[in-house]
Amino acid sequence: SGGEHSPHLFQFHEDGFLVLEHFFTAEECDSMRSQIQRIIAEMEVPPHCRTEFSTKEKEQLQAQGSSDYFLNSGDKIRFFFEKGVLDEKGNFLLPKEKSISKIGHALHAHDPVFKQITHSSKVQELGRKLGLERPVVVQSMYIFKQPGIGGEVTPHQDATFLHTEPLGRVVGFWIALEDATKENGCLWFIPGSHTSKSHGRLVLA
C-alpha cells in the first residue's frame, strides 16, 4: 500500500529490486504448478527441436544462436532442456519431467492459468505503483531447478537479453512457486547494480 513516496517504492528505486512476500496465495502458486505439470504431460517435442538451454554466452551462441526453435519462441509455448539429458541422437536419458530446464516464452498469451495470473488486478496495480506506463508483457518463463543436474545461472543483467533503448525499461516479476532458500537455489541480487552501465548485450544471429 502507499503512493509514490511509500517505503517500498523508495526501496525499489534504491536497490533495483523489491521483495513482496505472499503476493500470490498458496492456492495460486499451486494452480501454476499443477498447470505446468499438465503442460509437461502433454508436451511432444520433435527431435530436431530438442534444444538444450544454457546460460553461458558461448554455449548460447552455439546451441541457440542458429536455432529457429529458440529464436521463434516469443509467441509460442516451447520447451528447453538441461545440458546432458539428451544423447547424441536427441533421445532423453532421463524422464522428460526431470530433464526440462524451462518453458517459454509466451505462457502469458497461450495458457489460461498463466494468462490470468499475468494480467491479474494485483499485478496491474503493482505495475502502476512501480511507475510503469503502457506496459507490454514481452515474455514469460517457467524455470525449473532440477535436483542433481543443470548448470549454474551466472550473474547477469536482464538488459543483456532484453535490450531496450534507453536501457532500464524492463522490469522482471519473479515468482517463487516453492520456498526459495540458499540451499535449493534462490535468486540473488546486487543492491544498486541496476544503476551501473550495461554489462553487454547478447546478440543471437
Within-domain flag for 198: no
Per-residue pLDDT tens digits for 34-81: 999 999 999 987 776 776 666 665 565 455 544 777 888 899 999 988
Per-residue pLDDT tens digits for 156-199: 888 888 888 887 788 999 999 999 998 888 899 999 988 877 66
List the grid coordinates of 96.
522428460
Within-domain flag for 191: no
Quote the domain boundaries for residue 87.
Answer: 24-153+168-181
Within-domain flag for 144: yes
Within-domain flag for 91: yes
Within-domain flag for 190: no
Over range 130-138, report the average pLDDT: 93
Total structural domains within the chain: 1
**Residue (of 200, 203, 101) closest to 150 by Cα position:** 101
**Residue (of 102, 121, 123) closest to 54 by Cα position:** 102
CATH number of the domain that residue 64 is part of:
2.60.120.620
List the grid coordinates of 127.
505495475
Name the pTM for this structure: 0.84
One-letter identity of residue 115: K
Q: What is the 3-state composition of the chain as percent helix, strand, coil, each rounded to the nearest 5?
A: 35, 10, 55
Within-domain flag for 18: no
Within-domain flag for 59: yes
Return the exposure string of 71-103: e unless at least 16 CB atoms fall within 10 Å of the residue's CB, then b.
eebeeebbbbbbbebbeeeeeeebeeeebbbeb
Within-domain flag for 2: no
